Chains A and B, each alone.
Chain A
Amino acid sequence: EVQLVQSGAEVKKPGATVKISCKVSGYTFTDYYMHWVQQAPGKGLEWMGLVDPEDGETIYAEKFQGRVTITADTSTDTAYMELSSLRSEDTAVYYCATPSGYWGQGTLVTVSS
């Protein structure tokens, strides 16, 4: 059974950095890109970027370029999404997802002073 299990909820202050993990099981980690998607409260889905776990190549959405870093650790079959210079507008649920339609359960990040 394919599973993407994300790390738990985070509360951060403005200006801080958050790093979320996404541990996969049930398939070969390097077979698929890993994407990250943001969903602000009551809003739609916004694509943030992807990593190719095979070689670490990344592509980021223009909106998040410069603040987001997506990585993959093939020794632990885990992908990471780090978002820096957090502001209140970054309060959202963050999902990891594969092109084959598997999604993590989501991680709520709350940015508040």
Chain B
Amino acid sequence: DIQMTQSPSTLSASVGDRVTITCRASQSISSWLAWYQQKPGKAPKLLIYKASSLESGVPSRFSGSGSGTEFTLTISSLQPDDFATYYCQQYNSYPSVWTFGQGTKVEIK
């Protein structure tokens, strides 16, 4: 089974900061990686798919990069609405078994 490891678990940042979250896969997943944002009491929201493709309607301050086993989610200038928990998700294996990272909580510094 493919394991996904996110870091850090918690991140304290201020509005306007550039924020980077890393996700590592235990084996190559090509670019079959998505990033989700989740706020308390809500379902996860898709931000990025196929490692770097921005989901429609998601602000351009969010970007994703990487391939193979190492991936990053970057928020170029953190906004108040961005304080949330972020999850990476792999969907490489056929037929699309999912694995999630353990999550990164972005907190107000």
Contacts and interface: CB of A to CB of B under 8 A. Distances in A.
A34 to B, nearest CB: 11
The bracket for how many chain A residues form the interface is 20 to 34
B60 interface: no
Contacts of B38: 45
B46 interface: yes
A37 B97 CA distance: 11
A26 interface: no
Nearest to A33: B96
Contacts of B44: 45, 95, 97, 103
Interface of A: 33, 35, 37, 44-47, 50, 52, 59, 61-62, 95, 97, 99, 101, 103-106
Interface of B: 1, 34, 36, 38, 43-46, 49, 55, 87, 89, 91, 95-103
